[in-house]
Amino acid sequence: MKLNNTYAIALVVSGSILVGTTISSQAAPSDGSNLGECYNNWISHCNATTSGYPNSCYGESLDHCDGVHGASMTQIPGYKAKTMRTKALRKAKRTNARLVAPVVQPARSSN
């Protein structure tokens, strides 16, 4: 009887670890093996989870990739890193800009 309880506890613990791993892996994309892959993964994540560019998700995600792959960025010339960032942002889903009429204030007149 004790063996069955131990088996059940082990099954519950391993199942909860599996569920936790699955949920955490869906929460954020992979940082990739290189800077370009990281940029692409995070841009796709922002496209799927936000209303579109511009918003903070895109900039913060690319900054995150810069931090994760900082050591490899020292080997990439600055203009190439900037080009990679620009190319990744071209894949960003754009949001439609809304035109808002300005509020007209009444003219003041002095008496």
Residue 16 has pLDDT above 50, yes or no: no
Query: What are the backbone dihedrals phi and psi of residue 79, each rounded to the nearest 5 degrees, phi first?
Result: -70, -30
Res 3 pLDDT > 50: no
pLDDT given for residue 57 in this prediction: 93
DSSP sequence for 47-74:
HHHSS-BSSHHHHHHHHHHHHHTHHHHT
pTM score, whole prediction: 0.60
User: How much is the average pLDDT of 22-43?
Assistant: 78
Report how far residue 65's alpha carbon sits from residue 39's, in angstroms, rounded to the nearest whole number: 6
Percentage of the chain exceeding pLDDT 70: 73
Per-residue confidence band for 87, with pLDDT thresholds at 50, 70 and 90: very high
User: In the predicted model, what is the mean pLDDT of the chain?
Assistant: 78
